[in-house]
């Protein structure tokens, strides 16, 4: 437990950075995609296999650091563990913000909006938080509580 503390502290710091980045985006031109379009994307992706799409994103953009099996190589484990490693993120919306604005570590905020939602859906399914048919997007994420 004590060994986890530094990472938890660091994560709190990183999250505050992520929130600041989000605020910067919100006030700038990068945030002009109208909400209804994202909602449509999230909804159609989940029907056509959001989790499968998320797995493809994971393999392409995350596995080199977090491992093909989520075991962690140069980075923390994300799934496939006895305990859900994502329990310190209260809900899917917060996990999404972390992942979008800080990951991939060497290219944050570089993927498409829907790819970020898809990879979050994949992480949640792999940790048994939700079932595959639960759509993960801006309209559902806050209600998706992450627990062990």
**Residue 10 found at the interface with ligand HEC (CB under 6 A):** yes
Interface mask toward ligand HEC for 77-116; x: CB under 6 A: -x------x------------xx---xxxx----------
In what helix (H) or strand (E) does residue 25 lie, and over which residues does it extend? helix 5-27
Count of residues making up the chain: 148
Q: Which of 64, 80, 81, 134 binds ligand HEC (CB under 6 A)?
A: 64
Q: Which is nearer to ligand HEC, 25 or 27 (CB)?
A: 25
Task: Tell me whether the omega of the peptide bond preceding residue 89 falls within 30 degrees of 0, making it cis.
Answer: no
HSE on the CB side for 141, CA within 13 Å? 20
Q: Is 11 in the site for ligand HEC (CB under 6 A)?
A: yes
Closest distance of CB 36 from ligand HEC, Å: 25
């Amino acid at each position: 437990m004590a060994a986890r503390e530094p990472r938890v502290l660091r994560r709190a710091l990183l999250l505050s950075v992520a929130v600041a980045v989000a605020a910067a985006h919100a006030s700038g031109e990068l945030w002009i995609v109208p909400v209804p379009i994202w909602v449509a994307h999230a909804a159609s992706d989940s029907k056509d296999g959001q989790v499968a799409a998320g797995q493809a994103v994971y393999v392409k953009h995350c596995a080199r650091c977090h491992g093909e099996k989520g075991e962690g190589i140069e980075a923390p484990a994300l799934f496939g563990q006895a305990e859900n490693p994502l329990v310190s993120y209260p809900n899917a919306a917060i996990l999404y913000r972390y992942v979008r604005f800080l990951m991939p570590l060497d290219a944050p905020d570089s993927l498409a909006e829907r790819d970020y939602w898809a990879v979050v859906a994949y992480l949640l399914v792999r940790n048994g938080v939700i079932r595959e048919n639960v759509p993960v997007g801006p309209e559902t994420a806050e209600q998706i509580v992450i627990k062990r």
